[in-house]
Structure 1
């Protein structure tokens, strides 16, 4: 796994090793990440990354958030409660030397407390597939003040997710067994 573009371009991220099957640690492939970021920066959304505050829910390895940081995001907050994921995120932050622009919350994304900081403009949501955890995490993040009005949500699932009330679906694409849904929150 590597960073595709930007200031960290070509950097190989920490190896997943045996992963963490119990936490459904399933990193987004380089191919899907490349297609996703090309789509986000393809003009339809302007530039949702430069200067953005990014919230990476169910962050896993942190690859999505770090790719955004590499491409000009101002800050990334990673949320994951997995022991293995936390170690991978910390190692990848070290590799990218991005500690000053990141924060790791070792929490269940469906049980976020109130946000102690500014809200986020771009949300990556990559929950365990088929468990309805994305819906719960997005609702909780909204209630806790983690999400800025008009934020863009990039949701990775095995199928189309349940779109929350007040959100508008911008796009949906399938990449093998992965469905990427882009939402704009009201």
Structure 2
């Protein structure tokens, strides 16, 4: 597993032992970054269920301003920190050891880009998406990208959130949600 492009291009990332964490495949990762390639630079990223941290690290390598990595597994948290050191991106990152749903309940900041790749069988994707919308932690014009089995349809959300599109890569789906801006407030500003 390597960083595709940017400041850490070509750096090899460590992987977790066992089958509990399933890294995003190269094909899906390439597709994901083709979707958001113009929406990364200068943005605040949240990588929930971070695993190895490869998605958030790729964002940082491509110019994201900062990234928060959240994972409940101690071995994953340790590996994310090691991968950040290998890529020289530690200064732009914060690693949180803990449950992703609990993290969402307490978070007090907004993010421009939220990456979701929970264990498929855990049934966490829909509740996490609902929490993000309920607590409204996505910045105006922000993006959520959720990785899931291709045969699973994700729910629509209430405005200002909308399900933008689902992409399919073999057995894997990537669903993109977008948040509208604060158009009413933006019109009032001179």
* Fold equivalence (TM over 0.5): yes
SS state at 2:106 partner:
coil
SS state at 1:13 partner:
coil
Question: Which residues of structure 2 form unaligned runs of 5+?
Answer: 181-190
SS state at 1:32 partner:
helix
Counterpart-to-counterpart distance in 1, 2:177 and 2:78:
30
Are 2:11 and 1:11 aligned?
yes
Q: 1:141 to 1:79 in 2, by over 3 A?
A: farther
Counterpart-to-counterpart distance in 1, 2:134 and 2:13:
33
Per-residue CA shift, 1:70-120, capped at 9, x if unaligned?
11100000111012211221111111121110001111111224224x410
Partner of 2:176 in structure 1? 182
Partner of 2:67 in structure 1? 76
Are 2:110 and 1:114 aligned?
no
Are 2:160 and 1:164 aligned?
no
In the TM superposition, residue 125 of structure 1 has moved relative to its aligned partner by: 0.6
RMSD: 1.8
Counterpart-to-counterpart distance in 2, 1:160 and 1:181:
9
Counterpart-to-counterpart distance in 2, 1:152 and 1:39:
10
In the TM superposition, residue 142 of structure 1 has moved relative to its aligned partner by: 4.3
In the TM superposition, residue 145 of structure 1 has moved relative to its aligned partner by: 5.6
| Worse-matched range after superposition: 140-149 or 77-86 | 140-149
Q: 1:105 to 1:141 in 2, by over 3 A?
A: farther
Task: Give TM-score scaled by structure 2 length.
Answer: 0.84
Counterpart-to-counterpart distance in 1, 2:178 and 2:132:
15
| Worse-matched range after superposition: 99-108 or 30-39 | 30-39
Partner of 1:155 in structure 2? 146
Q: 1:142 to 1:170 in 2, by over 3 A?
A: closer
Q: How many residues align?
A: 176
Task: Give TM-score scaled by structure 1 length.
Answer: 0.86
Question: Which residues of structure 1 form unaligned runs of 5+?
Answer: 42-46
In the TM superposition, residue 136 of structure 1 has moved relative to its aligned partner by: 1.7
Counterpart-to-counterpart distance in 1, 2:163 and 2:62:
24
Q: Counterparts of 1:17-166 in structure 2 under 5 Å?
A: 18-19=17-18, 21=19, 24-41=20-37, 47-112=38-103, 113-116=105-108, 118-144=109-135, 146-158=137-149, 159-166=152-159
Structure having the higher helix fraction is: 2
